[in-house]
Amino acid sequence: MGGWIPWIGKKLLRGTLLLLGVSVVTFTLMTCSPLDPVQANVGQAALGSMSGEQLDRLEAHWGKNTPPVQRYLSWLSDFVRGDMGISLRYRQPVRQVMGQRLANSLWLLAAAWVLSGLLGGALGVIAGACRGRLPDRLIRGICLALSSTPGFWLGLLLVLIFGVWLRVLPVGFSAPIGAESAGITLLQRLRHGILPAAALSLTGAADIALHTREKMADVMESYFIRFALARGASIPAAVLRHGLRNVALPGLTLQFACLGELLGGSVLVEQVFSYPGMGQAAVAAGLGSDLPLLMAITVVSAALVFGGNLTADVLCGLVDPRIRRGGILP
Amino acid sequence: MRVWNRRQAALVFFALASAVLLAVALCGPLLAGRAAETDFSRKNLPPCLAYPFGTDWLGRDMLARTLAGLSLSIRLGGLTAGVSALAALTLGTAAALWRRADCAVSWLIDLVMGIPHILLVMLIALAWGRGFAGVTAGVALSHWPVLARVIRGEILQLRQAPYFLAAEKLGVSWGQMMRNHLLPHMLPQFFVGLVLLFPHAILHEASITFLGFGLPPEQPAIGMILSESMGYLAAGRWWLALFPGGALVLVVLLFAGVGERLRRLLDPASIHE
Amino acid sequence: MEVLLEIQNLSVSFTQYERGLRRRTVWGIRDLSLTIRPGEIVAAVGASGSGKSLLAHGILGLLPYNSHMAGEIRWLGEPLTPRRLKTLRGREIALVPQGVTYLDPLMKVGPQIRHGWRDAAARVRSRDALGRYGLGPETEGRYPFELSGGMARRVLLAAAVFSPPKLVIADEPTPGLDARAAARMMGHFRELAQGGAGVLFITHDLELALTVADRVAVLYGGETVEEAQAEDFAAERLRHPYTKALWRALPGNGFLPLDGTQPPPAGGWTGCRFAPRCPHCRPECKKEEVIPYRPWAGGRVRCLNPEGGEEP
């Protein structure tokens, strides 16, 4: 047990280095980009009508004249102190934009995370336990089709079916257009969130189900399941008593590891539904070459992904008796 | 009585699917003219016999556009999957054989896997100034880690294997070791990995184009077609989104199926029915 | 005496692919016959690849999904249908498997022995079962990875007798145990037999089998080649040349190795499987499709010219 603190310390150090790497990579890629942030944000026509002096001031404002290394270091020292800079696109502090967007996205992400985990886990366990038989083939077929479906097209289909043909659900945004933010009820928020959450959960659930199925099928082939059957347990009883327990650990890891995919999926789904979350902000920042916002989004996303993996490792350590009592750290 | 046993069925599927995919890939350049042809006398037609996928607001034949888009997707997927697989092979092998490279490559893998995929593709595409070069670089440079990890793991495992150690002790030359043990072990894995990269590459190319970072609007890319269709959904022009997207899913499924069949045919453990 | 378990002409086959697309049938067990009576220990002895483990799993109806089983198994005179088997598994027929991998790595020993029973009576029973094999109640709170090899075997034994069985199938329960632990294990089987249960002891260790078994069935290449009383060995009243060779290969009886190897399972062999290694092989041994398994001098043998008896 004494190994826990150095182990977590080591992981955190590695994570910090990783985030540093992510910020360097993002910064380098954006600096290499031939797209001109001034042009992207001010517009060709406006630029043409400006005087040389105005242009110079503008370029200084966007930081075009300072060398990249210096710009990166000043960004880093600000970022560490909690100042994420000013978004070029939204003309607001990045912190404020991120706070709003993240709060919106969090609803969506949390709903999709829980739903995809429950749905995918359940389907995967059922398919794995009935390997090769009809339920397995059915589930596998559906999940393969779903995981081959781009998230945005699934979103479009849902809009088409529920928004356009059946007209039962609103087609986008996190709230009715034009409504005062104070006047938005929880019910309205929920109604607007159903389709994006469904689109995001379905693609996530398919991958989780396929992975869980593999694990479950392996467990079903194991000697201890065979012994349980030899001792008179029925297949459902063996699944409940031994299968779930043994599939839970890899399932837990998978559930946390899929955070990255979920974040990526949310970029597409938010775009389809014009949902004002972090994913949509990422696209806007990318199209507008909004370096400070994009940096913040990538670093926060990478931190979420890393945090997910770390949580999974720690939870596995707490749950798995071989680690908890045997003292073998993952 | 079944006509084919499972291996034969897998082989037949493999051949048919490959033929379909090849045909779609080849018909793209032939249809380029037809896909771009506008004709206002036939705009916004729902699916009918003459235009099974309907026409758009410029009177372009959606079937031709879809096929041209799919062809582009497949060719681009092939290019990016190929580059990715080569990168994976090089980095994976280097990491497995050379300790110092291992550290760097592992860290690089963690780094690439640490950023959500779409975000990374977007960033790389931006660095290359969007467009064709942007998508290609973005997809090619972001898909290698999984395969690289597999290759690294396989080689490391092989080097620990008793039969490999025994051959080493017996003084078998490096060339022979490669020929007899490494290549027969790695090649199937590599090919299956390569084919299974296709669907991911195609999906991400479509996604990134959909978001506006990929292929330019004048290209008949599926992502672009779907992105444009969003504006017409509320007007009830469902065919603009349904058919091109469905066709894309079909192509991706075919690739996934081809990879899966290939894996099954090459896997020695599959001798059991 | 009544017969507990009767296996007649059991065969287990697999469908496999050869290189390419051709399918073939591979026999794991062919034409295997065996009977077990209450209170009797029957050892099934054979080298690895002789079909021993398939035999255990075949009786329990737990063969891999790609296998096919034919022949007849009767339990107390009635055919052992899959439906009947379901009610018997774990109640009247118990398996003692090979080792710790047969225990769920994430579940404590106690609940695994009780497998589903939670009442106080079950607790007492599981504690008794462990105590019978010299394991204290603290064992119940341990996880399988905290058990030694010998302890794991005893836990598996305790699990088998948790519901008192009529037939115990022990599938190679001793490899990895030292001689004393193995001998103690044999003692436990003897106790079970004295309590009226039939024991099928599957092993590759003829010497160990002879210390405890009443009868020995010798398996070779998926077939039973001989059935002998345990005392037939010491008296060298053996019928099949393979059994003889096995006996002579033991350290105390000459330590004579047998040349050649057991044939691998293959599709549709004809003739005697032992023919290539047999010192008395005759041309007709290779011609006959299936060499009959017939009663001979108080036992049974699968040989055209067996020893130790008169030509019929």
- Cβ B179 vs Cβ A123: under 8 Å: no
Considering only alpha carbons, which residue of chain B is nearest residue A265? Answer: B118
Contact C104 A230 (CB under 8 A): no
Considering only alpha carbons, which residue of chain A is nearest residue B257? Answer: A144
Pairing of strands C215-220, C167-171: unpaired
**pLDDT at residue C310 greater than cutoff 60:** no
The CA distance from C217 to B57, in Å, is 83
The CA distance from C33 to C208, in Å, is 22
State chain B's mean pLDDT as an integer: 86
Cβ neighbors of C188 (< 8 A, separation 6 or more) are C133, C157
Instruction: Place C169 in a pLDDT band, splitting at 50, 70 and 90.
Output: very high
Contacts A–C by Cβ distance under 8 A: 72
Contact A326 C145 (CB under 8 A): yes
Hey, how many other C-beta atoms are within 10 angstroms of the C-beta on A168?
10
Q: Positive or negative, the Cα torsion across B117, B123, B125, B130?
A: positive
Min Cα separation A211/chain C (Å):
20
Contact C16 B273 (CB under 8 A): yes
Pull the structure tokens for residue A151: 């998230």
State chain A's mean pLDDT as an integer: 85
User: What pLDDT score was predicted for residue A326?
Assistant: 67
Min Cα separation C7/chain B (Å):
26
Give pLDDT tens digits for C182-205: 888 899 999 999 999 999 999 988
Strand, coil or helix: C36: strand
Strongest mean pLDDT among A160-174, A249-263, C279-293: A249-263
The CA distance from A61 to A48, in Å, is 18
Between A308 and C28, the higher pLDDT residue: A308
CB contacts of A224 in chain C (<8 Å) are 101-105
Q: What residues 245-274 of chain A have any CB closer than 8 A to a CB of chain B? A: 260-261, 263-265, 267-268, 271-272
Mean pLDDT of B66-76: 91
User: What pLDDT score was predicted for residue A44?
Assistant: 58
Give pLDDT tens digits for C113-161: 998 888 889 999 999 889 888 888 999 999 999 988 888 988 998 998 8
Q: What residues 131-190 of chain C have any CB closer than 8 A to a CB of chain A? A: 143, 145-146, 156, 159
Contact B272 C21 (CB under 8 A): no
Strongest mean pLDDT among A127-141, B36-50, B253-267: A127-141
Of C84, C95, C96, C80, the closest CA to residue C152 belongs to C96
Between A148 and B182, the higher pLDDT residue: A148
The CA distance from B152 to B91, in Å, is 8
State chain C's mean pLDDT as an integer: 86
Angle at C101 between CA C98 and CA C103, to 5 degrees: 100
Using the Cβ of B271 and the Cβ atoms of chain C, whether some distance falls under 8 Å is answered with yes
Q: Which of A237, A249, A322 sits opposite C145 (nearest CB)?
A: A322
Considering only alpha carbons, which residue of chain B is nearest residue C65? Answer: B273
Give pLDDT tens digits for A24-72: 999 999 888 877 766 666 665 566 666 677 767 666 666 666 788 888 8
Contact A153 B127 (CB under 8 A): no
Give pLDDT tens digits for B97-156: 888 888 899 999 999 988 998 999 999 999 888 888 889 999 999 999 989 998 998 888
Given CATH 1.10.3720.10, say whether it is the number of domain B6-36+53-272. Answer: yes
User: What pLDDT score was predicted for residue C75?
Assistant: 92
User: What pLDDT score was predicted for residue C311?
Assistant: 47
Residue B158 has phi, psi (to 5 degrees) of -65, -40
User: What pLDDT score was predicted for residue C238?
Assistant: 87
CB contacts of A302 in chain B (<8 Å) are 114-115
Mean pLDDT of C74-84: 90
Min Cα separation B248/chain C (Å):
32
Between C264 and B237, the higher pLDDT residue: B237
Least confident span in B170-179, B255-264, C77-86, C168-177: B170-179
User: What pLDDT score was predicted for residue C265?
Assistant: 67
- Cβ A108 vs Cβ A200: under 8 Å: yes
Q: Which of A223, A234, A242 sits opposite C97 (nearest CB)?
A: A223
What percentage of chain C carries pLDDT values higher than 70?
A: 95
Contact C106 A237 (CB under 8 A): no
Q: Positive or negative, the Cα torsion across A238, A244, A249, A253?
A: positive
Contact B256 A144 (CB under 8 A): yes
Give pLDDT tens digits for C256-268: 888 778 877 665 6
User: What pLDDT score was predicted for residue A177?
Assistant: 57
Contact A148 B253 (CB under 8 A): yes
Q: Which of A144, A152, A298 sits opposite B115 (nearest CB)?
A: A298
Min Cα separation C53/chain B (Å):
18
Domains and CATH numbers, chain C: 5-92+165-302 (3.40.50.300)
Least confident span in A19-23, A324-328, C32-36: A324-328
Q: How many Cα atoms within 13 Å fall on the side-chain side of residue C240?
A: 29
Q: Positive or negative, the Cα torsion across A133, A135, A138, A141?
A: negative
Hey, how many other C-beta atoms are within 10 angstroms of the C-beta on B161?
13
Pull the structure tokens for residue C291: 């060499």
Instruction: Place B59 in a pLDDT band, splitting at 50, 70 and 90.
Output: confident
- Cβ A315 vs Cβ A24: under 8 Å: no
User: What pLDDT score was predicted for residue B61?
Assistant: 85
Instruction: Place A2 in a pLDDT band, splitting at 50, 70 and 90.
Output: low
Min Cα separation A213/chain B (Å):
16
Mean pLDDT of C201-211: 90
Pairing of strands C223-229, C294-296: unpaired
**pLDDT at residue A174 greater than cutoff 90:** no
- Residue A91 region by backbone torsions, left for phi larger than 0, else alpha for psi between -120 and 50, else beta: left
Look-up of token digits 């145990």: C177
Instruction: Place B1 in a pLDDT band, splitting at 50, 70 and 90.
Output: very low
Q: How many Cα atoms within 13 Å fall on the side-chain side of residue C141?
A: 4
User: What is the reported pTM?
Assistant: 0.85
- Cβ C44 vs Cβ C217: under 8 Å: yes
Give pLDDT tens digits for C33-58: 889 999 999 999 988 777 888 899 89
Mean pLDDT of C211-230: 89
- Give the gyration radius of chain B's Cα atoms: 22
The CA distance from C161 to C114, in Å, is 11
Using the Cβ of B15 and the Cβ atoms of chain C, whether some distance falls under 8 Å is answered with no
Chains that touch B (3 or more CB pairs under 8 A): A, C
User: What pLDDT score was predicted for residue A62?
Assistant: 62
Instruction: Place C109 in a pLDDT band, splitting at 50, 70 and 90.
Output: very high
The CA distance from C52 to B59, in Å, is 73
User: What pLDDT score was predicted for residue B158?
Assistant: 84
Mean pLDDT of B177-206: 86
User: What pLDDT score was predicted for residue C132?
Assistant: 85
Considering only alpha carbons, which residue of chain B is nearest residue A163? Answer: B234
Of B7, B68, B8, B17, the closest CA to residue B198 belongs to B17
Q: How does DSSP assign chain B, residue by residue?
A: --SS-HHHHHHHHHHHHHHHHHHHHHHHHHHHHHHH---GGGTTPPS-SSSTT-B-TT--BHHHHHHHHHHHHHHHHHHHHHHHHHHHHHHHHHHHH-HHHHHHHHHHHHHHHHS-HHHHHHHHHHHTTSHHHHHHHHHHHHSHHHHHHHHHHHHHHHHHSHHHHHHHHTT--HHHHIIIIIHHHHHHHHHHHHHHHHHHHHHHHHHHHHHTSSS-TTS--HHHHHHHHHHHHTTT-THHHHHHHHHHHHHHHHHHHHHHHHHHHH-GGGGB-
* C192: DSSP letter: H
Contacts A–B by Cβ distance under 8 A: 138
What percentage of chain C carries pLDDT values higher than 90?
A: 26
Give pLDDT tens digits for C243-258: 888 888 888 888 888 8
User: What pLDDT score was predicted for residue A63?
Assistant: 64
The CA distance from C82 to C88, in Å, is 10
CB contacts of B115 in chain A (<8 Å) are 22, 25-26, 260, 298, 301-302, 305
Instruction: Place C312 in a pLDDT band, splitting at 50, 70 and 90.
Output: very low
- Residue C51 region by backbone torsions, left for phi larger than 0, else alpha for psi between -120 and 50, else beta: left
Contact B5 C21 (CB under 8 A): yes
Look-up of token digits 């007209």: A167
The CA distance from C42 to C170, in Å, is 10
Give pLDDT tens digits for A96-120: 889 888 888 998 999 999 999 999 9
Least confident span in B35-39, B63-67, C98-102: B35-39
Pairing of strands C5-17, C167-171: unpaired
Mean pLDDT of C267-284: 79
